[in-house]
Amino acid sequence: MNLGKWLEFYVQILKDFNFSKEEDEFAAVLMHKLGKEKLLDSSILQRKVKWEDVIVIGPILREGDFEEIKRFHGVRITAGKALNVVINHITPDVHVTDMEEGDEILLELQEKGCILVLHAHGDNIERIKSMIPRIGSFIGTTQSIPFNRIYNFGGFTDGDRAACMAKEMGAKSIKLIGFDFERAKGIKKKKLEWARKILAYEGIL
């Protein structure tokens, strides 16, 4: 996504949820400080994704979805809590998350060769403090202004951020599976409404 356009979305999201831009930016700076030489260049992702068919996996999987995911010949990207659903079936090529999963599952993924794309925002500052010192090399992302290997590919939730990233990295095609924009309630429902709006703008949905 064009950064200028994303920042238009971002300003609206900040207002809608009463989020703090300053805390988002503090989180990104903290990730950079703690990550240091472990921060990977986005060319790692581009080499993995460019000209490839990509499937982005969300957490609401139905009967038959696991077989489709296992049969998929291309790059498999899990988003956030989807990892907990598929971890016993596949090891994704890329995992995009704001680190709500347990430490051990992320460390295990990394040992298996999965590229971790870890997101910094104002609500996961404590998670950044606890996880980044333990993890190996990773791609770092922010919702605000990108800087020095802290990237902004667009997207708000783990799922739409993963899809925006795949598009930015030059994927040949992007298929979504395990996405349900209707089932959630409350603030989660509101977040998914923004995710749907962003995916529609990007022509992915």
| DSSP per position, 135-160 | --SBEEEESS--BTTEE----SSHHH
Question: Which whole number is the average pLDDT over 60-79?
Answer: 93
101 contacts: CB under 8 Å, gap ≥ 6? 80, 81, 83, 84
Give residue 74's domain range: 3-201
Question: How far is residue 130's CA from residue 99's CA, in Å, rounded to a whole number?
Answer: 10
Question: How far is residue 121's CA from residue 158's CA, in Å, rounded to a whole number?
Answer: 12
What is the reported pLDDT for 205?
Answer: 84
Chain segment 123-150, per-residue pLDDT in tens? 999 999 999 999 999 999 999 999 999 9
What is the reported pLDDT for 63?
Answer: 84
What is the reported pLDDT for 184?
Answer: 77
Chain segment 164-199, per-residue pLDDT in tens? 999 999 999 999 999 988 877 888 899 999 999 999
What is the reported pLDDT for 181?
Answer: 87
Split into its structural domains, the chain has a count of 1
DSSP 3-state of 1: coil
Structure confidence at residue 204 as a pLDDT band (50, 70, 90): very high
Bridge partners of 57, per DSSP, are: 78, 177
Question: How far is residue 135's CA from residue 99's CA, in Å, rounded to a whole number?
Answer: 11
13 contacts: CB under 8 Å, gap ≥ 6? 19, 143, 156, 194
What is the reported pLDDT for 192?
Answer: 93
Structure confidence at residue 108 as a pLDDT band (50, 70, 90): very high
Residue found by looking up tokens 């999201």 in the block: 13
Chain segment 23-55, per-residue pLDDT in tens? 999 999 999 999 999 999 999 999 999 999 999
Does residue 140 contact residue 35 with C-beta atoms inside 8 Å?
A: yes
Does residue 78 contact residue 92 with C-beta atoms inside 8 Å?
A: yes
Chain segment 147-171, per-residue pLDDT in tens? 999 999 999 999 999 999 999 999 9
What is the reported pLDDT for 153?
Answer: 97
Say yes or no to pLDDT of 6 above 80. yes
Least confident segment among 12-16, 75-79, 102-106: 102-106
